[in-house]
Amino acid sequence: MSRPGNYGLDRYVVKRYIEQVLFQSERWKQLSSYFSNISPLVRTYSLTSYEVELMRRILDYHLSDRLHLRITQSNDQLIEYEEFLDFISHVQEFYSQNSNIYHNIHPINGKKLLIPSIPSIHSAYILPSLAKSNLSPLPSSTTQKPLPPITMASSLQSNNTQESSSVINSHSSSLQVKSSLFIPSELCPISLYNAKIDGDGWVQINNVYLPFIIKNHQRLVPYQVLVSCKILESDELRSTLTRATLSDVTLINSMIRNCKINNEQIPENTSLINIYHVLIGTKNLIYMKILPKDNPTSKINRQYKSVLALRGGSLYITTHLIPFVCSSNHSYIPLNDIINIYPNLKTELNNLSRVPRTNEFDYLQLVKMYYNENELPLDTLLIDIDDLNQRKIISSKNLLLIEYHAKEKLKLEQQINLLNNSSINKRKNIESHENKQIQQRLKLSTSSTTTTTTGFYPGSSHQQQNHWLSSNNGHRGRTRWQ
């Protein structure tokens, strides 16, 4: 799972779960003898009630609850994923340097070993109130089965009609698991190799198509590509970024290599961005389309600007949210959405429906993208809202897509500002605390000096103003698209 960090989202894992899973590895048991020699300690953090529920669902779906581990707020803590990997690296390094000295340390046969605990120290983590409201558990309907990976990526030039056939690359289960959990193979037990995983695929954003990977139910794409291709301005939406792991970069680059277009590569330490944040966070409406996995270039829409030129949005009929598109002074909605509400009108409405034009269909798909809903079926038919009004089927709460975009953009900006202000206030509090400590030390030093003299300050002395500038030791390097 992820939490807001200094420059995006940081990933966390449940400490007790990691300990129990890795205990299945003999190598981990061997290394546990050296845990007490490792510094610094891994920091742990408390879970919120929403995070507890989210982790329970993740364990149940992705690992079929093999360990029957009940995550609770009182028994469990989170550790940062990158700190955990550093800990593993330090343990292995210490082992390689001291294996001759400690070679006699082995588990005692015939005795049940306790699960070794990762040395840790608890740290406070104050989650912003607005961020808490966005961490509500995902409904079970959002859980999707993992899809097989496919390999293709490149930037699309609007005047370039060259297309390449896709190359389907069937990765093994172990490679897919390690793409989201990069633990050394000698430590990774079989239960992780058999875990269900999220998928990856392809997306068109305006005149660019590029690969995405799915993590935590988010489609993530390389941020630098969007900046390089002028979809985003430099530093735009940087606060929403998450760091890519080495395995993430390896997976994306393997997709690009197999595509065999331009030999583009994503650098290490790159940043990823949720495509939904791109969708709602830009100044103007943008076009976005999920491409098919078997041959993504076959469905690229080179006339995407004609789609953005249309008007439409969403409306309610009873309690159902339905997309609509305006064309020739009429408004149309998908027929199936109405039949699902009024099945007895199926035959009657079928006679009034028509096949959508390509740009109309793509616009309705775009509306669904903004509302994060499932795509329309390819056999979708349209029905005129006027025909529904004549049958006393009245819509309500009409909202144009451009209005919805502005609303969601404002909400995202408020979240970013809240996170930024929280970070600034935290930094100011640290500076204030350390300044007070310095002033106290100066007072003690001055007091000590005066007691050893005549009890007064010489008239020629003058106070020196002390300046102290904090350095952000928690600063993490920002990546740059090269």
pLDDT for position 280? 94
pTM: 0.52
Residue 143 has pLDDT above 50, yes or no: no
Q: Identify the residue with better confidence: 440 or 107.
A: 440
* 389, two tokens: 């009004």
Express as a percent the part of the chain with pLDDT over 90. Answer: 31
**Beta partners for 202?**
211, 291
How many C-beta atoms lie closer than 10 Å to residue 375's C-beta? 12
Kindly provide the b/e burial profile for residues 424-451, where b requires at least 16 CB atoms within 10 angstroms of the residue's own CB: eeeeeeeeeeeeeeeeeeeeeeeeeeee
Task: Domains for the chain: give ranges and CATH numbers.
Answer: 2-142 (no CATH), 173-301 (3.10.260), 305-403 (3.10.260)
* 319, two tokens: 């309690």
pLDDT for position 252? 87
pLDDT for position 148? 29
Express as a percent the part of the chain with pLDDT over 70. Answer: 65
The average pLDDT across 127-141 equals: 44
pLDDT for position 254? 80
pLDDT for position 85? 86
Q: What pLDDT digit, counting tens, does each position of 370-386 carry?
A: 988 888 998 999 999 99
Residue 402 — pLDDT band, cuts 50, 70, 90?
Answer: very high
The average pLDDT across 112-123 equals: 81
The average pLDDT across 291-300 equals: 79
pLDDT for position 166? 27
pLDDT for position 133? 45
Distance in angstroms (rounded) separating the CA atoms of residues 176 and 199: 9
Q: What pLDDT digit, counting tens, does each position of 50-104 carry?
A: 888 888 877 776 666 666 778 888 889 999 888 888 888 888 888 888 766 544 4
Which secondary structure element, helix H or strand E, spans residue 130, and what is its range?
A: helix 129-133
Q: Identify the residue with better confidence: 292 or 287.
A: 287
Q: CA torsion, points 180, 183, 186, 192, in degrees to nearest 10?
A: -40
Q: Closest Cα to residue 116, out of 185, 7, 26, 46?
A: 26
Which secondary structure element, helix H or strand E, spans residue 406, and what is its range?
A: helix 401-451
pLDDT for position 403? 95
Residue 407 has pLDDT above 90, yes or no: yes
251-255, 330-334, 342-346, 420-424: least confident range? 420-424
Angle at 447 between CA 445 and CA 450, to 5 degrees: 110
CA dist 173 to 61, 245, 255, Å? 16, 18, 16
The average pLDDT across 218-227 equals: 92
Angle at 62 between CA 42 and CA 290, to 5 degrees: 105
Distance in angstroms (rounded) separating the CA atoms of residues 6 and 234: 18
pLDDT for position 356? 95
* 437 Cα distance to chain centroid: 39
Q: Which residues contact 468 (CB under 8 A, 6 or more apart)?
A: 431, 434, 435, 438
Is 322:314 a contact under the CB 8 Å cutoff? yes
Residue 121 has pLDDT above 50, yes or no: yes
pLDDT for position 248? 86
Q: Identify the residue with better confidence: 257 or 461.
A: 257
